[in-house]
Structure 1
Amino acid sequence: GAGGRNLSSLLLQTKAGFTAALKQAKECRAAREVCQEELSGCRNRTGLVERAEQALHSDGERCLSELQRTNEAYKARLEEVAQLRAASETQASDATRTREALKVLQMKCDPKALEASC
């Protein structure tokens, strides 16, 4: 009678509760899988970002090293230019003194000057 109906009703309610719980568990499992996939994607992107940052850092170091070598070469060229300029000025000064000495010799050895002094 009444007890059987209550038991049957209780079993139906329990079955409905289990069915709802099972549905909720499946939804949770599906949502968890989506979260795991998103987390995995984030981790992969994080790895890519880290590798990109490392590559950028390596490129930056390489560029800095290249810039330092270029700067050192530039300083060396400036030093060479300064040395060449100094050597050129010395040669110009020597040439001027030689020209002046030659003029003095030419004046001393000029036949007219020699005749006048004799």
Structure 2
Amino acid sequence: MKVRVLLLCVALAGCSSPGKLKEEAPAVRLQSTQSPSVYMACLLPRWQSYRPSAAVREIRLGYRLIMPAAAGDSAQALVEVTATDKGSDVTLYRRDSPVPDDAITAAVRSCL
């Protein structure tokens, strides 16, 4: 019985991982002249104003910002910002189909 519960928990954790968002095509791909740290310093407080539990993690060559869904552990949106020769590549992944001018996408664009 304990093994079944453990397997169920592992399976559910895999379903809610940010990696699932990355299986879909990005909602938005942009370039910024700012470094990943400067861009993230702009974006993080904006996303936290919509969802205080939004959290940033350092990844290879940049940062990943995850906005959890309103209910549950799943990720609603994910932004990866990676360093380039001229600044940063910014990639937004969304669970739902975003409206081009919704608050999450607008925040991503406003920090460029």
**Could you state the TM-score of these two structures normalised by the residue count of structure 1?**
0.20
Question: Larger % of helix: which?
Answer: 1
Normalised by the length of structure 2, the TM-score is 0.21
Hey, which of these two has a bigger chunk of strand by percent?
A: 2
**Greater relative contact order (Cα 8 A, min sep 6): structure 1 or 2?**
2
